[in-house]
Structure 1
């Protein structure tokens, strides 16, 4: 659940603080009043593409901070735990964009790439604008809906643990395959070298005789 949104020097906004309560919240206003700025800021905070145009004219940077309560979002907690970014039931996401177009992203105070913000964002909230229904086509989100419908957290945890174990075994299997390929390549090289030596068929004391012949010819 989104609890708090801080916006600084974003678009036409100099500074804005919004506290969100549980339940439904509605932002109203005339066309062009800036209702969508909060949504655009959230999208940027959660990994959308950033450029210098989002920075308020005359400002050095835009700064957006979103605070979420993730106590009821097991998928988000699991993602953060995998990335070693979990800090209790609160998740603070921040995005800073300079007036030169460079951006930095943070999760719980740790700097992360925009792609990681986007990965986390799909577990924190869904932004549905006009024609924006693509999330329903993503397999990960479909699984989340199915898990939410089943409402069996113990089974979900067992499934996640089994999946992680399967991933670990798959990595070990790939490592063993790579090691076997290296051994096969080494064996083929040795077999080739042995075949070359067999074809050459060197005789006993032949090397010393060749050295003597070489010495004679050079003189």
Structure 2
């Protein structure tokens, strides 16, 4: 009854503090100002944090592993013809058609390496007649390859224009002619059509 004014104010402040403490115990989380993330989002965020490399060495190791895995996928795609993992130069329907066009026919250029070995052996023999035959064979082979490549290039260009009128066909003919120079069993991606089969 006879308490001083200062003591009364202190008592009131203490009561207020008790009230605020009790409300805080009932509501421990203050409003955060953003919606609670979905479980899938939270899991992916946790996974990305867990997968983040801690050191430079670890990051380099991870990059090497990823590059190795990508190269392995690419190698398998080249062997099996899986479009998803092929290198950029082999991707797309135009390049696939060009490959199939070359693989479906006999090309003189694909026999260039075996014939070159035969000609080289003949030219090394110290007999003038055989050396002349080797030189003549060399000229015949080169002329035949050039003629065959020109005819193949024109036919392929025409077929590509018919099949893919609105698609970019740039570089497809050169790509196909380079493929025709390789022996069939050494070609990558591996041939997907048989000889004589229409692509």
TM-score normalized with structure 2 length? 0.19
- Larger CA Rg, structure 1 vs 2: 2
Greater fraction helix: 2
